[in-house]
């Protein structure tokens, strides 16, 4: 069973797109990135999130990167629940996603002088 909701059999599709916990994460992701609510059916939809938004190439690249980071954070939380008996908290996943995304942008992108406070409000503010 899904380690987050215990309501359905665990599968890639359920864990990353259909679980009620993960739907909350993707809803927060959409609000944070100021994009339309995401309707995800399988993992491929996550890989192609940037193709469904009509933004500049740079914005699409950042959103794609953030979607990959969000997926990693979901997987990491899943493993902590399964192997360390941690209680799942969508806010932990969202916080981890923002933190890792900030580190990625600050260290890998051309935006060296980004503000944590502004980042937490809207990750594309510097464009």
Which residue numbers in the chain have pLDDT < 50?
Answer: none
The pLDDT value given to residue 54: 84
Helix intervals (H) in the chain: 12-13, 20-33, 43-47, 49-52, 57-84, 90-108, 116-121
Q: What is the pLDDT of residue 114?
A: 87
**Residue 54: other Cβ atoms inside 10 A:** 9
Q: Hey, how many other C-beta atoms are within 10 angstroms of the C-beta on 40?
A: 18
What pLDDT does residue 109 have?
65
């Amino acid at each position: 069973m899904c380690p987050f909701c215990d309501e359905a059999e665990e599968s890639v599709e359920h864990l990353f797109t259909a679980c009620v916990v993960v739907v909350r994460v993707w809803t927060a992701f959409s609000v944070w990135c100021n994009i339309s609510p995401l309707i995800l059916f399988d993992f491929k939809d996550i890989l192609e999130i940037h193709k469904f938004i009509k933004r500049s190439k740079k914005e699409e690249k950042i959103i794609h990167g953030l979607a990959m980071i969000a997926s990693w954070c979901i997987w990491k939380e899943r493993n902590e629940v399964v192997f360390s008996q941690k209680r799942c908290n969508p806010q932990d996943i969202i916080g981890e996603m923002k933190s890792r995304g900030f580190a990625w942008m600050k260290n890998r992108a051309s935006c060296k002088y980004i503000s944590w406070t502004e980042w937490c409000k809207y990750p594309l503010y510097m464009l």
